[in-house]
Structure 1
Amino acid sequence: MPSRYQPNLTPAPARLIQHDGDAVYGLFDGSVPRLNFTDFDYRTVLDGKASQLARHFQFKQFQFVSVTGPNWLLAVAIADIRYASSGFAYLYQQDATTVEKGLLLPLQLGCQMSQSPTSGRAQLHLGKTRWHLDLNNHSWQLELECGELQASLQLERQQQQPLALCAPTGYQGLTYTEKNNALAVTGELKLGERQFDLSEARGGYDFSAGFMRRRTNWRWASINTLLQNEPFGLNLANGVNETGLCENALWYQGKIQHLSPVQFQLNRRQPNQNWQLHTLCGEVELEFQPLYCRQEKVQAALLTSNFRQYVGYYQGNIMLADGSKLQLQQCLGLAEDHYAKW
């Protein structure tokens, strides 16, 4: 039976914030090139004009790239949460020890964020450790220098529609999110003397920014792979962009299919047990088996974070819009469980 979930898409505006100070909300048919958040009429919960200090510290932004090969996965993140800048880079290998590096710096020290998903640079660096992302209309380019882990990669984004949306966040904020999965990857990835074959690799990116909730949480799933030699990508999330919208989609053979809201079933007391994921309209029925976890628990003054990002296997069924089914078996991907007070 064909999927019944077919949301209406809004034409992507040239800029996110309009002349009246409000945003264009909706699921867009493409990237929004100008995210002019400084023009947003940000208000207090009692309708007063928010102070410049509140505007500064309540704005958050993060960018993330992952690349998956047949038996390995690279993940790189940069986040500006105003009180601190943070990021991580790790390479998971099924046949060897995971190599990882994390950075946590005060305020915006060593951090730069791009202001558009289609142009600019995001970077995080400390000493000889650095990673940066160069964004344009055609690709996301990752440069990584992290000890023995080195990368110079390009994720090709042309001719594939991204998942792009702007949703109200809480009572007074908003969030713009753009994601694109199953992208072809070129370049070089090295760990010491070992050079990785990218011929079967696929990658994805995440650009998220806005005036987010002071206390927020989300669960998230992401896949970049080949199914029967065809590129397949999946993005599922709940908890953050669900004020009348959701950020769920799959990509198959270069085409995007939007998906209905998703539920994650997991045991926080025993998070290494398998997770269950299913969408409201039944397009997705998956089980996730965690293999590796990158975890951070931070409680410092104004900040609290309980972050767990897992690499693991997905298996189950995906229903396409035409009613045909895809079956996943031991498909390497990511899952995340995150609470933040920021």
Structure 2
Amino acid sequence: MTARFVLDLPPAPAAPVGPDGEPLAGRFCGRTAAIDWRALAPRLARPAWWRFFHHKRWQYVGIATADCFIGCAIVDLGWTNTAFAYLFDRRSGAVVGGLSREGLPGLTATVGDVPAVGAGSRFRWLGERVAFEETAPDRFTVRIHGPDGFAVEAEFDGRAAAPWLFASGPVEDGLWHATHKSPALAVQGRALAGGREYRLDGGHASLDHSNGLLPRDTRWRWASAHADGIGFNLQAGYFGDYENALWLDGRLIALGTAEFDYDPAATLAPWRVRTADGLLDLAFTPEGERREDRNLLVAASRYVQPVGTFAGQVRGAADAAPREVAGLLGVVEHHHSRW
């Protein structure tokens, strides 16, 4: 972290489990160096077989530009793995390129325990692949090669970015969870989809790396958007308030309980997202969405991720003047997994 940033949150610990095996709960600035849930104290320990079926790790990347939004994720469930990627064209309001694949346990996917140089995330299935890597401190690449000519080659630069959020805490009916959320990262690169080339230079990327021991049935609502000098991450569901945060002019600010007002049966209708502390109140106008329902007998997933713009107000503190927000490109999400 650079000295010019005001640190409203304490610095991230070296690890979310202390030498005594007790986990640390809270929101922090920066990134932790290691996550090893096997180090939990005996009173919290679960059998190795339980950890195998409940340990979930994923790397998500979002890229927002004037022309498109790109989302991709690699998910390691231990007993299986999966990956998806898509490009949403803002002019047509449709997904024009994508891939979605189930993998083979231990063979097709790797997700690092933390985002770090040398701890990338990769998925490969025959000729299709998704690869994310931190090539040098705060410099990243993502490469996607999918069907029908869909491809993404992009680099992200976070050397001048605001601090990351690291959050760690308990989850209902699971055990413990930790997540890293990045601020806006500068993007360079290009994408190919639907027979068209998209230049990504000048866009903004955001990264979500999560690692936890989660319940078999997990539900959440999520919202995220980032641009120069502003960004936010909101979640309502299994992880409580731990990952709710606002980035504003280089500051990382903890937010209160997230509230999502929307119609699950009409996800392309307007949404409203706000926080109970009054620091964020935004309307979301969808431009289109990606949705996918999977049923693998032993597992299932119901997922919808509308893409659109946020408008409204945010505040850096309860007594601060409101900051107007307009046209901030991002996503909302309704997700239910049985995994």
TM-score above 0.5: yes
Q: What is the aligned counterpart of 2:323 among 323, 326, 332? A: 326
* Cα separation, 2, equivalents of 1:91 and 1:146: 11
Q: Deviations over 1:114-168 (max 9, x none)?
A: 1222231101111111011113531232112124222222222234211111011
Instruction: Give the residue type in structure 2 aligned to 1:175.
Output: H
Instruction: Give the residue type in structure 2 aligned to 1:102.
Output: S
- Partner residue, 1:251: 247
CA spacing shift, 1:42–1:263, aligned 2, 3 Å: farther
Conserved in 2, the CA contact under 8 Å of 1:9 and 1:26?
no
Cα offset for 1:42?
6.8
- Partner residue, 1:122: 121
Cα offset for 1:194?
4.3
Secondary structure at the aligned position of 1:196 is classed as: strand
**Aligned positions of 1:145-164 closer than 5 A:** 145-147=145-147, 148-159=149-160, 160-164=162-166
Secondary structure at the aligned position of 1:57 is classed as: helix
- Partner residue, 2:283: 287
Conserved in 2, the CA contact under 8 Å of 1:202 and 1:231?
no
Conserved in 1, the CA contact under 8 Å of 2:306 and 2:331?
yes
CA spacing shift, 1:191–1:305, aligned 2, 3 Å: closer
Aligned residues: 327
Cα offset for 1:223?
0.7
CA spacing shift, 1:312–1:55, aligned 2, 3 Å: same
- Partner residue, 1:143: 143
* Cα separation, 2, equivalents of 1:259 and 1:183: 21
Cα offset for 1:84?
2.4
Q: Deviations over 1:6-60 (max 9, x none)?
A: 99734322222222222222111210011122323476xxx7x522211111100
Conserved in 2, the CA contact under 8 Å of 1:222 and 1:236?
yes
CA spacing shift, 1:150–1:42, aligned 2, 3 Å: farther
* Cα separation, 1, equivalents of 2:194 and 2:174: 48
CA spacing shift, 1:231–1:30, aligned 2, 3 Å: same
* Cα separation, 1, equivalents of 2:268 and 2:152: 30
Q: Deviations over 1:253-280 (max 9, x none)?
A: 3332222221001112222221111111
Please provide the CA RMSD for this pair: 2.3
1:166 paired with 2:164, answer: no
* Cα separation, 1, equivalents of 2:258 and 2:278: 9
Conserved in 1, the CA contact under 8 Å of 2:8 and 2:252?
no
- Partner residue, 2:211: 209
- Partner residue, 2:3: none
CA spacing shift, 1:18–1:291, aligned 2, 3 Å: same
Cα offset for 1:95?
2.0
Q: Deviations over 1:314-342 (max 9, x none)?
A: 22222233723332333321010011111
* Cα separation, 2, equivalents of 1:7 and 1:338: 32
Cα offset for 1:192?
7.1
Secondary structure at the aligned position of 2:191 is classed as: strand
User: Unaligned regions of 5+ residues in structure 1, if any?
Assistant: 1-5
Instruction: Give the residue type in structure 1 aligned to 2:331.
Output: L
Conserved in 1, the CA contact under 8 Å of 2:56 and 2:213?
yes
* Cα separation, 2, equivalents of 1:265 and 1:295: 19
Instruction: Give the residue type in structure 1 aligned to 2:294.
Output: V
Segment drifting more, 202-211 vs 18-27: 18-27
Conserved in 1, the CA contact under 8 Å of 2:189 and 2:201?
no
Conserved in 2, the CA contact under 8 Å of 1:318 and 1:327?
yes
Conserved in 1, the CA contact under 8 Å of 2:223 and 2:333?
yes
CA spacing shift, 1:193–1:171, aligned 2, 3 Å: closer
User: Unaligned regions of 5+ residues in structure 2, if any?
Assistant: 1-5
Segment drifting more, 15-24 vs 54-63: 15-24
* Cα separation, 2, equivalents of 1:19 and 1:146: 44
CA spacing shift, 1:175–1:71, aligned 2, 3 Å: same
Segment drifting more, 131-140 vs 306-315: 131-140
* Cα separation, 1, equivalents of 2:219 and 2:185: 27
Instruction: Give the residue type in structure 2 aligned to 1:320.
Output: G
TM (norm. structure 1) is: 0.87
CA spacing shift, 1:92–1:171, aligned 2, 3 Å: closer
Segment drifting more, 232-241 vs 124-133: 232-241
